[in-house]
Amino acid sequence: MRHAAFLEQLDGRLTRASAALERLSGELAAVEQRLNGHAIRPVPAEVQKPAENGHVLFVSSAAGYALLFWPGPAPELGAELELPDLGGFLVSKLGPAPLPGDGRRCAYLLGS
């Protein structure tokens, strides 16, 4: 009798785990569909070995964010920038580039 109760308990756990797996598979499919066309790409060699001069722009928008690699020194905090094909932005924060081993400065931009 004890074995039957134990097997019944295991069967219940297996049923719940199967339902959870099915639910998570559906959620994964939905995320993959939303990411359609946004595949993770390898980091280009010029980013892996950044130039000694230049800076990074972290551009935030409704569509997500982008990292741009720009020549020269980073802009000042509060500066207004006009980026070709992207529009106007305000430098809201300065800090290190968000890439491992990258010593460049990063200007975090907000759309203006």
Q: Identify which of 69, 73, 68 has the alpha carbon closest to the alpha carbon of residue 53.
A: 73
Q: Which of 42-46, 85-89, 106-110 has the lowest mean pLDDT?
A: 42-46
Calculate what percentage of the chain has a pLDDT beyond 90: 22
Average pLDDT of the chain is 80
Residue 37's pLDDT band, with cuts at 50, 70 and 90, is low
69 bridge partner residues: 56
* pLDDT at site 42: 55
Please report, to the nearest 10 degrees, the dihedral formed by the alpha carbons of residues 69, 70, 74, 80 taken in order: -110
Q: Is the pLDDT of residue 45 over 80?
A: no
* pLDDT at site 80: 94
Mean pLDDT, rounded, for 29-38: 67
Q: Output the pTM of the full model.
A: 0.54
